[in-house]
Amino acid sequence: MTGAAIAGMGVTFPDPMRQDDVWAGYFERHYNGSPRKGLAKRIFANSGVVSRHGAVNPLFEDASGWSTAQRMSRYLTEALPLGKDAVSSALDSAGLRPDEIGLFVVCSCTGYATPGLDILLARDLGMAPTTQRLFVGHMGCYAALPGLGAASDYVASRGRPAVLLCLELTSLHVQPPSDDPQQIVAHALFSDAAAAIVLVPGGSGACVADVAAVTDTATADLMTWDVTDLGFRMGLSPKVPDVLSIYVSDLVGGLLDRHGLTLSDVDGWAVHPGGPRILDVVRDELVLPETALAESRGTLAAHGNCSSPTVLLILDALRRRAAGPPRTTMMLAFGPGLTLYGVLLR
């Protein structure tokens, strides 16, 4: 068997929004009359987000009263061009045609359509009728990593290229005004993006060396994503970083031990920024220098928490850094379950 190497990446975003403008122009009014308005202002200011992206810009459209049907209709309208741009860019950078792709994996938890994005985008991009497809839904922020694992396994076993697309439009799911701090945190953090990655057999790029996961089902209620009549509602307990702190060291250590590596061998860290405190926990539990998380914090500041595409955005930033791409990269992402996923690239 041959390994699966990264041959190309592509990222795309809806229009940008400044965090301060989103607060002053919409959410400050959204929380008028709430006893937690002061708390909301502090959460927005301390979120680590400077700018973000929205297919639905709350400065121009208030989606908080939209039905789920309205949101799903808008999802398809916005997702198709974003997904097409991201995949086309990734294929161009890999030097491949769409009809050369053997497997197309799509991850998204912010919208549903049947036929799905995998079918509609494969059609619009000109992929072959024989292209295999896999759609991954409702895994949330960590979906990119099991998606990457499935794609790399296909490439290694079949010897054909694969594409992974992660696309989320969280701006569709702004909720009606609420005093719930968890909803305030979600409104302050989440953003929209699409990111695609092309994997090929062999190749000179970073290879997927290993994948690991751990799920603590006893804490399943700490992170939720519920379908309601008014879109999808996020549940995000402040206890999440504490749970992650229990498992992250063992997960990372196990991945490295299997390959005879130590923490000092890792020169690239792509850590999903679920929020500033999660990055702090990873830094402290692994005893990393703050510089190790520069791309993760920078991605949070520039783009917000885009759910599943975010860890791929950080990987893209690592590949473009002035010092050159890392030789050994640890990708970490977290989500419902509570689940931790890690991918080792070499």
Q: Does 159 lie in the same domain as 20?
A: yes
Residue 182 tokens, joined: 């968890």
Segment 10-38, tens digit of pLDDT? 999 999 999 999 999 999 999 988 888 99
Segment 53-102, tens digit of pLDDT? 999 999 999 999 999 999 999 999 999 999 999 999 999 999 999 999 99
Segment 277-331, tens digit of pLDDT? 999 999 999 999 999 999 999 999 999 999 999 999 999 999 999 888 999 999 9
Q: Does 169 lie in the same domain as 47?
A: yes
Q: Does 219 lie in the same domain as 194?
A: no
Q: Which of 153, 183, 201 is the last residue of a domain?
A: 201
Q: Is the peptide bond before 115 cis (omega within 30 degrees of 0)?
A: yes
Q: Is the peptide bond before 82 cis (omega within 30 degrees of 0)?
A: no
Residue 305 tokens, joined: 């928490």
Q: Does 179 lie in the same domain as 78?
A: yes
Q: Does 327 lie in the same domain as 178?
A: no
Structure confidence at residue 286 (pLDDT): 97
Q: Does 243 lie in the same domain as 167?
A: no
Q: Which of 136, 170, 201 is the last residue of a domain?
A: 201
Contacts for 139 with CB less than 8 Å, ≥ 6 apart: 107, 109, 146, 308, 335, 336, 339
Report the SS3 class of residue 267: coil
Which residue of the set 107, 109, 141, 306 is catalytic? 141
User: How many domains are contained in the chain?
Assistant: 2
**Cβ–Cβ under 8 Å, residues 122 and 136:** no
Structure confidence at residue 332 (pLDDT): 98
Section 338-342 average pLDDT: 97
CATH of the domain at 179: 3.40.47.10
Segment 184-214, tens digit of pLDDT? 999 999 999 999 999 999 878 899 999 999 9
Segment 226-276, tens digit of pLDDT? 999 999 999 999 999 999 999 999 999 999 999 999 999 999 999 999 999
Q: Does 183 lie in the same domain as 43?
A: yes
Structure confidence at residue 314 (pLDDT): 98
Q: Given a cut of 60, is residue 1 above it in pLDDT?
A: no
Structure confidence at residue 323 (pLDDT): 86
Show the DSSP H helices in 214-321 as ranges: 240-257, 276-286, 294-303, 310-320
Q: Does 169 lie in the same domain as 214?
A: no
Q: Does 155 lie in the same domain as 96?
A: yes
Q: Does 14 lie in the same domain as 138?
A: yes
Q: Which of 157, 180, 201 is the last residue of a domain?
A: 201
In whole angstroms, give the CA distance from residue 166 to residue 144. Answer: 6
**Cβ–Cβ under 8 Å, residues 305 and 140:** no
Q: Is 141 a catalytic residue?
A: yes
Contacts for 175 with CB less than 8 Å, ≥ 6 apart: 64, 183, 186, 187, 230, 231, 233
Q: Given a cut of 90, is residue 224 above it in pLDDT?
A: yes
**Cβ–Cβ under 8 Å, residues 34 and 176:** no
Segment 114-163, tens digit of pLDDT? 999 999 999 999 999 999 999 999 899 999 999 999 999 999 999 999 99
Q: Does 162 lie in the same domain as 14?
A: yes
Q: Does 214 lie in the same domain as 338?
A: yes
Structure confidence at residue 2 (pLDDT): 54
Structure confidence at residue 178 (pLDDT): 87
User: In DSSP terms, which residues pair with 194 in a beta bridge?
Assistant: 12, 167
Question: 331 is in which domain, residue-wise?
Answer: 208-345
